[in-house]
Structures are given as C-alpha cells and as structure tokens.
Chains A and B, each alone.
Chain A
Amino acid sequence: MKVVIMGCGRVGARLAGLLDIEGHSVTILDIDAYSFRRLPPDFSGTALVGDGTDEEALKKAGIEEADAFAALTQGDNRNIMAAQIAKHIFNVPKVVCRIYDPLRRELFNSLGIEALSPTTTFAQMLKDRIEG
C-alpha cells in the first residue's frame, strides 16, 4: 500500500516507522526538515520537505497514486484542509486525520472526514485509569 503522511511529529514519525516495517511504501511530508530526525534510522520510505495543504507538494509526494493519507500536524485546520484536498480533489480511498478539538471533530466526521480526537480518547483513558 502507498501511504502519504503529513506532519513528521512524534505521532507522524512513529506511524511512518510502523507502516514502513510492514513493507508499505511511505512518503512523509513536513515543512521543517529538522523534524525528520524523529524517523527511525532504518526508515526506507521517502521524507519530503513540503506543505501538505499545497496541491503541488502533495503531487510531489505521490498523492495521485496513494491508497491512504494521514494528516497529523499540530494544527487542526491544516489537517482538515489537507484531508479534504486528499479526499475530494485527489480521491484518495482512505483518508484519516487528527483533530484535537472534539466539537470540530464531530462536525467534520459528519461531513465525511474520518477524524480522531486524541483529546477525547486520552481523557477517557485517563478517567478509566483513575477510577481503576
């Protein structure tokens, strides 16, 4: 499977590593080349400097042939925009994104964007731990 990931933070880099080990073809995008230091040393995919909300950068990353796209930058709106471009402009079959704001996540889920909110999930996990 060909996967394009936008945002090489801790989560993005980790996901790229996991998919790479399983033999998927991974391209990871970030606007800052320094963030690629987070990738595992044996990462065999492609790391590209570029803005995932920019059509040209996405084309360079091979979005047109991608089977999946994940938007994992720190900005909710950037993730939402990139996910919609991947889904509606490039017709990528599987698009996922991270949205910290639970209300915004709810809205964009209802608009057909598959989004996860670490805020909701993590708060629930913490609550479960505390209550034992």
Chain B
Amino acid sequence: MYIVIIGGGKVGFYLAKALLDEGHEVLVVEKDASRTEFIHNELGSACTRGDGCEVTTLTEVGTGRANMFIAVTGDDDDNLVACQVAKHKFNVPQTIARISNPKNETIFKKLGIDVTISSTNIILEYIEQEVPTHPLTHLLNIRDKGLEIVEVKVPPDSPTIGKMVKELSLPVGSVLLLLIRRQEKPQVPTAETILQAEDQIIAVTTPEAEEALRTTLRGF
C-alpha cells in the first residue's frame, strides 16, 4: 500500500516508522527543513520537504496513486485542508485526519473526512479507565453508528442495589450487555437479574443517552 503522511512531528515520524516496518511504501511530507533532514537520516528516502496542503507538493509526491492519506500535523485546520485536497483533487480513497479539538470530530465527518482520530479523546478514555471512581468509562465507539460501549460500576450506596433489571427505566437505545461480578463468571444480564454493589456493567448506548444510563444504574 502507498501511504502519504502529512506532518513529520513525533506522531508522523513514529507512524511512518511503524508503517515501513509493516512493509508499506510510505512518504512523509514535512515543512521544516531540519526535521525533514532528521527523518531522512533515520528512515532513508521516506521524507520530502514541502507544504502538505499545496497541490504542487502533493502532485510531486504522487498523491494520485496513494491508497491512504494521513494528516497528523498539530493543527486541525491544516489536517482538514490537506485531507480535502487529497480527497477532491487526487481522489485518494481513504483520508485520515488527526484532531486536537474533540469538537471537530463531527465537523470533519460532515466535511467528508473518512476517519478522524482525536488524540485528546483517546487520552481521556484511558484516564477514565485508570481512575477507579469514574462513574462511566468509554470502552469503544462504534464508528458511523452513533453507538458506544461503556462500563458503569454500581456504587455501594446506590439505590438501585437489590432491584431487578426490569425495574430500572433504561433510556431508549441503551442495552445491558454483560455483568461482571467479583468471584463469578461474567454473565449476560436478564430482566430478572438483581443488581448488587460493585457490579460492573458493560452496556451499549448513544452519546445522548449516556447521562441517563449512568443515573439509572448508579442512582445518582
């Protein structure tokens, strides 16, 4: 696969290195001369100096035959424009943009970028998982379906303890998938399952219903 990467910062550099190791043909486009030289020395001829948003530069690097185009500079607007140029001028089938402002995720989707990766959101998700008291943890987003898999822990003082699943008023679009209880095998919760303190519940929900699901399961 031929992959063009825009931005030779730390992300771009290590990404290129990993993709080269996997046997892909990779080219990094970097604005800064000394950074270009550094990558050139480290990775051989896999880096060229130029502006990844300019049609001339992208023509030179053969973007027209690229299978994938990844923009990972530190600026959201640069990544957006580079991907749009690749998509509309060079018909690259797959464009991926790194974004820093999580709010740009929906905007970029609307503007035709195939995949967006929000490093801020990813770091946030890991932090949620590492902080045990966090009321709701995001485990996975189901792309393009507007669904997410989350984990909710029932606190010891929750009013939902002792209640059956059917007695809870779960928000529309939320389904409980799995119940993990200490010293027991994981089980699929049924309508008759009675909640206990410290139960870990894995559920599928929508971003809109997330808040309601959390309140229903935790009681507050």
Contacts and interface: CB of A to CB of B under 8 A. Distances in A.
Interface of A: 53-56, 75-78, 80-81, 84-85, 88-89, 101, 103-104, 107-108, 110-111
B103 A81 contact: no
Given A77-B53, A104-B55, A107-B85, A85 B107 contact: yes
Contacts of A54: 101, 103
A53 B81 CA distance: 13
Contacts of B110: 88-89
A111 B88 contact: yes
Interface string B71-84: 00001111011001
Query: 9 smallest A-B Cβ distances: which pairs?
Result: A81-B77, A77-B77, A77-B81, A103-B55, A78-B77, A77-B78, A81-B80, A80-B81, A84-B111
11 contacts: A54-B101, A76-B81, A77-B77, A77-B78, A77-B81, A80-B80, A81-B77, A81-B80, A85-B107, A107-B89, A108-B84
B54 interface: yes
A55 B81 contact: no
A77 B75 contact: yes
B103 A53 contact: no
Given A53-B76, A77-B78, A88-B110, 14 more contacts: A76-B53, A77-B75, A80-B84, A81-B80, A81-B81, A89-B107, A103-B56, A104-B54, A104-B55, A107-B84, A107-B89, A108-B84, A111-B84, A111-B88
A78 B81 CA distance: 9
A107 to B, nearest CB: 6
B75 to A, nearest CB: 7
Contacts of A104: 53-55, 81, 85
A104 B85 CA distance: 8
Contacts of A111: 84, 88
A101 B53 CA distance: 10
Given A55-B103, A88-B111, A103-B55, A75 B77 contact: yes
A80 B89 contact: no
Nearest to B110: A88
Contacts of A110: 88
A84 B110 CA distance: 10
Nearest to B78: A77
Contacts of B107: 55, 85, 89
Interface string B58-98: 00000000000000000111101100110011000000000
Interface string B171-206: 000000000000000000000000000000000000
A107 B77 contact: no
Contacts of B103: 54-56
A101 B54 contact: yes
Contacts of B85: 104, 107
Interface string B91-118: 0000000000101000100110000000
A84 B83 CA distance: 14
A81 to B, nearest CB: 4
